[in-house]
Amino acid sequence: MLVFRKPLEGIERPQMPADVIIVGGGAAGMACALRLSQLIDAYNANNPDSQLSKENIYVLEKAREIGQHCLSGALLDPRSIRELIPDFEKEAPIEATVSKEAVYFLTVKSKLKFPVTPPPLRDHGNYVISLNRFVKWLGEKVEAAGITVFTGFAGSELLYGGAANGNRVMGVRTDDKGVDKHNEKKSNFEPGYDLKAKVIILAEGSRGSLTKQLILRFKLDADRNPQTYGQGVKELWEVPAGRIAPGEVIYTMGWPLTSREYGGAWIYGGKDNIVSLGFVTALEYADPRIDPQHVLQEFKKHPFVSALLKGGKMVRYGAKSMPYGGWWSLPSLGGDGWMIVGDSAGFLNSARLKGIHLAIKSGMLAAETAFEALKSGDSSAATLGQFQRNVESSWIKDELWKVRNFHQAFTHGLWPGLLHAGLQQFTGGRGIRNRYPSAPGYTHMKKLAELPADGGAEAPLLGPAKGDARLTFDKLTDLYHSGTKHEEDQPAHLVIQNTDVCNSRCIKEFGSPCQNFCPANVYEMVDDTTEPNGKRISLNPSNCVHCKACDIADPYQIITWVPPEGGGGPNYDGM
């Protein structure tokens, strides 16, 4: 019997008032907190008689430690961090300065180098970083600045209030702790807190759960393109010295994907012989049997990749989704009591494959708006709506406007996509029309009946990888290296609206793709003779790496990811 996580009803919840709550301690959330602290410090220095306090400004981070759930390639464009901390190079953890870059088109046995690196992928002046380490560093500064970061606490619900129809976001409810598998209180039960705050900033990362609730409730995506996503699967490897230079950046496209799928790989040389490599597969592929973790394993078999990794050791594994929709998919950014920043809003430049600098900048702009709200005492849409306008007049808009149609251009495959992308380069992002449409990724998923039984050209990417345990790995082995741990005795946090759909329909129509798009073996169809098709959906929630692929890619859209008990999740040390 699957019991799903739901905040307990009819219990008294402790209250704690707050001025500003930032939900999510990633790049955007921490940048926001730090900027807010800077503004308050400056203000207080000039206003000895009316001081603003940082006492009631909180960052809620669901991981046990700051940075633990942060995963990215990553390449950092230093533009925004330089604005936030002008001499950040002196103290920030940087793995390497980009020294060399190459873009390859792969076929099964060979690689063709692009004679000229496409402008969006030119990384001169950028840094190879570990997002986990970078955010840890930012977090230390935030704490040193006097802003409390609550680790191990998730935002599980938004609290609404105000006018008759609850148009205002009043606060955040944190997760109930000590609830058992059957949603009953354990002896160490601690109810989630109701944190009422003037300003709530959602910085939950890609496909944020509170963000999803908010967008749904207030239809913040009206007139927008639906958001689309890619799934990144990453491994950190330790390789013999000399294989790759620190700061060497490689992008690939093509094999093992066909022209029908969108995606590609990255390989970044870090320090101490550490290589970050990963494959991003857009979650809009047609064949439900495609398994993004398998795609990465397949990719590693390419001669040039296996030569790079030979004799090395896989050190860590992880996966995360990322928003590809770009400018036209950004929801409304600020309203009565709330703002949305970072990947939760979708500030990612899909052409450059970079979003950290935009997340940081969006966090900074939100901080400036929040600061105005604190000063004026007004945090209604009148004040917080200014955030939207600030973003539109900032370099975030300049940058994202130029690539506003990039990802959508690939809807009909790789070659048309490249053509459009090339055209967009010369037309300031316009291409053939100002706004290219998009459709949610899951709508592209075809039923098994419409696909070749053997999978056709995509055959090597279908289903779970077996792995050879040296270069390639099966999902469970990879998962072990993600350091994922959760309190075992808690309700399932992957809320499936109707498991009958899984057992009766999906298994026949799509072949239960949850087993494939989940990089962590959370979903399994197990034998059950009482079910019409002999199988039933079973969950291993404690394997979850919080990537949100299921929430995104499920063709029936009946899966809702909610945060499990705070403190649980992957451990992306060094990622």
* Whole-angstrom distance, CA of residue 481 vs CA of residue 219: 39
Closest CB to other proteins among residues 40, 445: 40
Q: How far is the CB of 420 from other proteins (least distance, A)?
A: 44
Amino acid, single-letter form, for residue 84: L
Q: How far is the CB of 188 from other proteins (least distance, A)?
A: 4
* Whole-angstrom distance, CA of residue 240 vs CA of residue 328: 44
Query: What phi and psi values does residue 250 have, to the nearest 5 degrees?
Result: -130, 130
Query: What phi and psi values does residue 430 have, to the nearest 5 degrees?
Result: -75, -50
Q: How far is the CB of 472 from other proteins (least distance, A)?
A: 14
* Whole-angstrom distance, CA of residue 226 vs CA of residue 308: 39
Q: How far is the CB of 232 from other proteins (least distance, A)?
A: 22
Closest CB to other proteins among residues 67, 555: 67
Closest CB to other proteins among residues 195, 537: 195
* Whole-angstrom distance, CA of residue 502 vs CA of residue 489: 24
Closest CB to other proteins among residues 57, 98: 57
Q: Please answer whether residues 217 and 169 qualify as being in contact, where contact means their C-beta atoms are separated by less than 8 angstroms.
A: no
Closest CB to other proteins among residues 227, 482: 482
Provide the β-strand partners of residue 326: none
Q: How far is the CB of 493 from other proteins (least distance, A)?
A: 15
Closest CB to other proteins among residues 6, 481: 481
Q: How many residues does the chain have?
A: 575
Q: Please answer whether residues 363 and 9 qualify as being in contact, where contact means their C-beta atoms are separated by less than 8 angstroms.
A: no
Closest CB to other proteins among residues 67, 417: 67
Give me Rg for the CA atoms of the chain.
Answer: 23
Which ranges of 206-271 would DSSP assign to H, the alpha helix?
A: 209-218
* Whole-angstrom distance, CA of residue 254 vs CA of residue 261: 9
Closest CB to other proteins among residues 4, 150: 150
* Element at 369 (helix H, strand E): helix 356-376
Q: How far is the CB of 485 from other proteins (least distance, A)?
A: 7
Q: How far is the CB of 566 from other proteins (least distance, A)?
A: 9
Catalog residues that contact other proteins under the rule CB under 8 A. 14, 16, 64-65, 68, 148, 150, 152-153, 174, 177-178, 186-188, 190, 193, 195, 315-316, 469, 476-477, 479-480, 483, 485, 488-489, 526, 538, 540, 542, 571, 573
Q: How far is the CB of 186 from other proteins (least distance, A)?
A: 6
* Element at 230 (helix H, strand E): strand 229-238
* Whole-angstrom distance, CA of residue 280 vs CA of residue 334: 30
